[in-house]
Structure 1
Amino acid sequence: MTFLKSLSGALISATIVAGPAAAQDPTFFRIGTGGAGGTYFPIGGTIANGISSPPGSRACEDGGQCGVPGLIAIAQSTTASVFNNAAVQNGELEAGLAAADVTRSMYLGEGKFDGKPHPNLRIVANLFPEDLHLVLPEGTSIASLADLEGQRVGIAQAGSGTQVAVLQMLNEWGVTRDNMDEAELNNSQSAERLADGQIDAYFYAAGWPVAAMVQLSSTKGMSLHSFSDEDLQRINDIIPAYIPSEIPGGVYEGVDEAVKTPAVSALLVVSSELSDELVYGITEAMWNENTRRLLDNGHAKGQQITVESALDGIATLGVPLHPGAERFYREAGLMD
C-alpha cells in the first residue's frame, strides 16, 4: 500500500525482535495519541501492542502476538485530537485517537473548522469517556468559569480537542483570550506550572487517572472544580458531545469527594484510504482475548474499552464507520 510509509532501518531492527527476517514484508501502522502525561498515549500504546504481529513472530496459538499478521503498529506522541485528525486526513498517520466533538466538527467542516471538511476521517470504535479536569491549586475553588477572568489559565496545547472545547465553554461565561492570561501547554507542563505557582488553573480532558495529576496531587496537592448541574446542562447545550459525568472521589490524593464534570467520548479514527481488509483485521484484533487482557492490565481506562460499547454514540455522530470495521461489527451481531 503506497500510503504506508517505511520507517528507518534502525526502527525496524529495534521493533522486530523475533527470529530472522521473514519473507513477509512488514506493514507499518502509525497511531497518533497525545502527550506522555495523559491518557491517549498509554491507551494508544496498548492498542498498538494488541493489533501488532510483526513478521517472524510466534503464532498466536503458540503464545505469540495475536494481532494482524505482518503489522507493526506504533503509538506516536502528538498534540492529540486536532493534530491526529488532520494527520489522518493528510496521510501522515494511519490512525489516531481523537475526541468525538472535534472529529465531528473536522469531518463536517463546522465551527472552528468551517469550510475545511476532513472527508477522509472514519471511525473504528468508541473507546472511553474523557472527563474534563479543571485543576486548581490545593485548597482553592471557583464558583463558575466566569471567575477565571483575569487569571493565568492553561487552556491545553494548540492542536488538542481540549483547547477547542474549553475556549467554547469559557466564551459562554464571558472569558476569552482578551481578558485572561492563557497558556497553551500540554498536561505535564500545566501540572508543573501550577505546582510552581506560574498559573492559577488549567484544563485537561482525559480518562482518569491522569498520570501527571496523580503526581501533582501526591506532591504539591491540587483541587478539582466540580461543576453545578446547571452549568453542566449549559455546556451540553453549546457542545452536545460533552455530557454530564463524574470523577469518583479518591482517584486523586486529597480529592476525596466525587467531582461533577463534562465528558466527551474518545474515538479510534482511521483514514478512509485504508483497505477494508486491513481495517477489518485491526478491528478483529482489537476485540480478541489477548487485547482484552492487555487493556484490563494496562491503564485504568482500558477496562472501559469494550466491544459492547464500541458503537455507543456513533450512529448519531455524523462520521461514518470505516467499512472494514462495519463489516466486523455486523458479523459479530452488533449491527443490524
Structure 2
Amino acid sequence: MKFYTALISTAVGLAVTQFGYAQTQITYKSAKTSSSYYQMAVEIAQAVKQDTNSNIIVTVEESQGSVQNVMESAVRGANYVFTTPPALVSLAQDGKAMFKNRSNPKFSEIRALFPIPSLAMHFVVSDKSGINSFSEMEGKKILLGKGSFGATEGAKYIKLFGLEGKIDLAQVELSNAVPALKNGQIDGFVTSGSFPAPNVIEAAAGTKLNVLSLSDEQIVQSKRTRLVIPAGTYTGQDTDITTTSLPVVAYSSTAMDNDTAYTLTKAFWSQKELMSDTSPWWKGVSTDMLSNITGKVHPGAARYYQEMGVTLTPDQE
C-alpha cells in the first residue's frame, strides 16, 4: 500500500510540475498606471489568459515612458514585452537622439509583435469659439498643458503653421481642460491619446464642440502618420476627423521563442473583437497598421500573419 501511495504521489507531483512548465509567464511593460495604455495592457493580459486557457500569463508592469521600456529590453529576459513608438526603436538601434552614448547591441534584437492604438492628436474647440480650422485659432485662448506628448506636439504645430505668438496659451493643467472649456474659460484644448479619448468624450457630453481636421499639406509638414477618426466617434461628430498620430507597437526580442511569439500574437488578434466590445479604442486597430512598423517583425508573429494572409514588407521579415 505504501508503494502505491508513493507512486500516486509521484505521479501527481510530476503532473503538477509538467503543468507548471506548460505555463508561460510574460512581463508586459506598459505605461503609467494613470494612462489609457496601462488599461490597454491589463485588457491584453486578460485576453491572452482567456485565449490560451491560462497557458500564458501576462503580468503588467508600470513604466515611466517608452524610452525606459526600450532601454530595459537590453537587460530583461526572453519573455519581456514592451510598448513604444516604432520611431524610438529605430533611434535606439541607430544610437541617436536620447539613445546617443547609450547604445546596446541588444537593441538590434528587438522585434515587433502587433500594433496597439496610436496616440492621436485632438484639437478640441468649443462651438461658441467659432473655430473651424487651425488658422482660426489665432487670437483665441487654447490650453496645451505641459509635459506630455500632446503638449509638445501641439506646440510644434503652432510654430510650424505660423501661429507662434498669435495664440493666447492658457496656463492651466490639462486635467482642468474639460471644465475650463465648458465654463468658457478657454476656447479649446490640445490632447493626445487613443481614440475615443476619455477627456474628449467628457467634453462632448452636454457641450457642442468641434475636433479640428488637419489638411493633407499640414500632415505632410508635421512628418507624422495620417489617421482618420471615423464620424460618430464623439457626440455631435457628423464627419470624419483627419489628424496626425504617433503609432505604438508591442515588441519583444529574438530571445523570445517563436512558439510563444506566435501564440501571443494569435491571442491578441483572436480577442481583439471582444476587447472592442468593452473598450472602443481597439476598434481602430487593424492589420493595416502593420505598415507603421519600420523594423523587423518577430518570426513567430510573422508566421501568424502569413496564416492570416497578411503580407509583410521585405524589411519587416
Q: Is the pair's TM-score, using the shorter chain for normalization, greater than 0.5?
A: yes
Residue 268 of structure 1: how far off its partner (Å): 1.7
- SS of the aligned residue for 2:205 comes to helix
State the structure with more CA Rg: 2
Do residues 72 (structure 1) and 52 (structure 2) align?
no
Q: Distance in 2 between matches of 1:216 and 1:279?
A: 40
Partner of 1:43: 40
Q: Name the CA distance, whole Å, in 2 between partners of 1:227 and 1:304.
A: 19
Alignment of 1:131-142 (within 5 A): 131-140=120-129, 141=131
Q: Distance in 1 between matches of 2:64 and 2:188?
A: 20
Question: Are the counterparts in 1 of residues 26 and 81 from structure 2 also a CA contact under 8 Å?
Answer: no
Contact 1:50 1:66 (8 Å CA) reproduced: yes
Asked if 1:280 corresponds to 2:262, the answer is yes
Q: Offset of 1:32 from its aligned partner?
A: 0.4
| Residue identity in the other structure for 2:261 | V
TM-score by length of 2: 0.68
Alignment correspondent of 2:315: none
Q: Does 1:228 align with 2:215?
A: yes
- Counterparts of 1:81 and 1:258, CA distance in 2: 29
Normalised to the residue count of structure 1, the TM-score between the two structures is 0.65
Does 2:199 match 1:217?
no
Identity %: 17
After TM superposition, the structure 1 stretch with the greater mean CA deviation from structure 2, 256-265 or 142-151, is 142-151
Matched, 1:30 2:28: yes
Q: Which amino acid aligns with 1:267?
A: V
In the alignment, what sits opposite 1:242? Answer: 225
- CA offsets per residue over residues 237-278 of structure 1, 9 Å max, x none? xx2x422x3333432224444333223433222345444443
Count of aligned pairs:
289
CA contact (8 A) 1:68 1:282 kept: no
Could you tell me how far apart the structure 1 residues matched to 2:51 and 2:183 are? 45
Q: Distance in 1 between matches of 2:91 and 2:20?
A: 39
> Which residues in structure 2 correspond to 1:1-336 (within 5 Å)?
24=20, 27-33=25-31, 36=34, 38=36, 40-52=37-49, 65-67=50-52, 69-75=54-60, 81-82=66-67, 84-88=69-73, 91=76, 94-110=80-96, 116=102, 119=107, 121-140=110-129, 141=131, 143-144=133-134, 147=137, 153-155=143-145, 157-158=147-148, 160=149, 162=150, 165-173=153-161, 190-191=177-178, 194-195=181-182, 201-235=188-222, 239=223, 241-243=224-226, 245-288=227-270, 291-306=271-286, 308-309=287-288, 311-314=290-293, 317=294, 319-330=295-306, 334-335=310-311
Native 8 Å contact 1:137 1:194 kept in 2: yes
Higher helix content, 1 or 2: 2
Q: CA deviation at 1:73?
A: 1.6
| Contact 2:133-2:213 at 8 Å conserved across structures | no
What letter matches 1:67 in structure 2?
A: T
Q: Secondary structure at the match of 2:51?
A: coil
User: How many Å separate the matches in 2 of 1:115 and 1:149?
Assistant: 43
Structure 2 unpaired stretches of 5+: 1-15, 313-317
Structure 1 Cα separation of the partners of residues 103 and 209 of structure 2: 39
| Cα distance in 2 between the residues matched to 1:30 and 1:195 | 38
Contact 1:100 1:265 in 2 (8 A): yes
**Which amino acid in structure 1 is aligned with residue 301 of structure 2?**
A
1:24–1:70 Cα contact (<8 Å) kept? no
- Alignment root-mean-square deviation, CA: 4.2
Residue 287 of structure 1 and its aligned partner are, at CA, apart by: 2.9
CA contact (8 A) 1:153 1:182 kept: yes
Compute the displacement of 1:299 (Å): 1.8
Distance in 1 (alpha carbons) for counterparts of 2:137 and 2:100: 30
Flag structure 1 segments of 5+ consecutive residues without an equivalent: 1-19, 53-64
3-state SS, counterpart of residue 287 of structure 1 = helix
Q: Distance in 2 between matches of 1:88 and 1:200?
A: 42
Between the aligned partners of 1:232 and 1:311, the Cα distance in structure 2 is 20
